[in-house]
Amino acid sequence: MLRWKKMRTIAAMLLWVLAVSAAEPGERAPGFALMDSKGDLHDLYDYRGKPVIVEFMQTTCPHCAAFASTLERVQAKYGNKIGIVAIANPPDNPNSVNAFIKGHFISYPVLFDMGQAAYSYVRKQQFDLPQVYLVDANGMIFNRYGYSALTKDIFEGNGLMNEIDRMLGSAAAAPPAATKPAAAKKK
């Protein structure tokens, strides 16, 4: 009986650890519907069929500021092939976000979150910024990145574009969806 209780306790602890770990590659990206700085609603579902970069940021974060120029380069290279959304978290407000947008010449939407969307991805109350999720065209997390010395090229170099090319290449290499056979030609 005691052995069974220990096994149940260990199993419960393992499930808890799995439940609080960040959303990982291969998992479905958590959905969200958030307002941007213009008052327009953006839903992750609106980007279906297109890869999306989801960034969690704050306007006072120096790495987020550097990443803004990287995202602008991504947008210039891929155009409408890639969706980009930045999600600002408290203590940011419309004034700080609008100043950030103007100061960094941002053309992609910056959304407001009270922490719920961030928590559904990062699954922690407190986390380092920026946090970036690369979501493929099927709504699955392709990869995630937190800023560190090891990921500096993702945030400040060409690493993100290399990852996007890798993701787009893996999508092109995926087997095509089942299609209906071509109709026989009439004579």
Q: Could you tell me the pTM of the whole model?
A: 0.79
Q: Which of 17, 12, 46, 14 is nearest to 29 (CA)?
A: 46
Structure-block tokens of residue 28: 């479905």
All domains in the chain, ordered by first residue: 47-171 (3.40.30.10)
Per-residue pLDDT of the chain (187 residues; tens, 9 = 90+): 545 455 454 444 433 334 445 678 889 999 999 999 889 999 999 999 999 999 999 999 999 999 999 999 999 999 999 999 999 988 999 999 999 999 999 999 999 998 889 989 987 767 889 999 999 999 999 999 999 999 999 999 999 999 999 999 876 554 444 443 444 444 4
| C-alpha–C-alpha distance, residues 144 and 24, integer Å | 7
